Amino acid sequence: MVTRPAPQLRRSGCLSVARFEAMASPCEVLVDTPDADEARRVGRVVADEVARIERKFSRYRDDSVVAAIQAARGAAFEVDAETARLLDYGQELYALSAGAFDLTCGVLRRVWTFDGSDRVASEQEVDALKPLMGWSKVSWDGRRIRLPLGMQIDFGGIGKEYAADRALMRARRHSNSPILVNLGGDLCCSGPRRGGAAWQIGVDTEGQGEAGSMLLLQSGALATSGDANRYLLRDGVRYSHVLDARTGWPVEHAAHAVTVAAPSCIEAGSLATLALLNGAAAERFLALERVPHWVAR
């Protein structure tokens, strides 16, 4: 059994911040309360819920649902209700993006590593993976999934946002204080701070740990998608880490970062991802959706 370190608690004024690492990201929970014990409890609940979701949907663990679906080796596998809801959601995003977003495109990671180098995949490498991709090859009836042998399901595109929403929901059952959950930049809050003030969020579109502009969040969620430290550069061409599942290639003219505000983190994250997939038309897409957004290019 792996033991995780307890979240680190830091206090400034009435605001307590619990920090922990999860999903390969720095995470924090802000609790607007003078009661340090309450803040510690809330931090614990959030960290536990995030860990549960990470364990359950991780593609790196043998005991995850993702591993179990694959282990069925092409046979039908009945999933639990939570997994079913996430598969439904992924299917909806696949439809809304006309196939550009696809839960099965995780295999592309074998040929694309966005580490700032110039190792751009070859056409042959990408084409060789195409038979192992495509939600249309998956049979899903809302209860049982049949995943062809060699294919993978990857919740990476929505898992962190989903975890933030879920963790906040749990935390709210334990505390009436204003809470903000931030999982590596995908964040959601329970409402305004004490006295009605907004949460002040710095926007770090460069991934340098420095906030550029400041956003105010009264309620709902913010999510940022982008390629701050994840891209390839060859012959002066920047290859964004945003892959179009239909081609297996990075989206052309993708924005560096897109931040979207929405009632839930999963909705904000999905809109940000879809905006990136729209390449040069990201701003138009977001203006059309009429959601508050900030695009860095």
Footprint of another protein on 81-140 (CB under 8 A): 85-86, 88-89, 92-93, 96-98, 100
Task: Work out whether 296 is an interface residue with another protein (CB under 8 A).
Answer: no
Footprint of another protein on 174-233 (CB under 8 A): 192, 194-198, 200, 213-222
Among 22, 79, 251, 295, binds another protein (CB under 8 A): 251
Q: Which is nearer to another protein, 44 or 166 (CB)?
A: 166
Output the DSSP codes for 91-113: HHHHHHTTTSS-TTGGGGGGT--
Task: Work out whether 155 is an interface residue with another protein (CB under 8 A).
Answer: no
Q: Least CB distance from residue 138 to another protein, whole Å? A: 18
Q: Which is nearer to another protein, 19 or 170 (CB)?
A: 170
Among 39, 132, 183, 266, binds another protein (CB under 8 A): 266
Comparing C-alpha atoms, which of 28, 27, 31, 26 is closest to residue 12?
31
Cα 214 from Cα 223, distance rounded (Å): 14
Comparing C-alpha atoms, which of 36, 41, 44 is closest to residue 14?
36
Comparing C-alpha atoms, which of 227, 225, 226 is closest to residue 266?
225
Q: Which is nearer to another protein, 76 or 197 (CB)?
A: 197
Cα 170 from Cα 226, distance rounded (Å): 28
Residue count of the chain: 297
Contact (CB, 8 A) for 243 and 251:
yes
Burial class (CB in 10 A: 0-12, 13-18, 19+), 184: middle
Q: Which is nearer to another protein, 284 or 297 (CB)?
A: 284
Comparing C-alpha atoms, which of 254, 258, 244 is closest to residue 286?
258
Q: Which is nearer to another protein, 56 or 166 (CB)?
A: 166
Q: Least CB distance from residue 169 to another protein, whole Å? A: 7
Q: For binding to another protein (CB under 8 A), which residues are involved?
A: 85-86, 88-89, 92-93, 96-98, 100, 162, 165-166, 169, 192, 194-198, 200, 213-222, 244, 246, 251, 261-264, 266-267, 270-271, 274, 277-279, 281, 284-285, 287-292
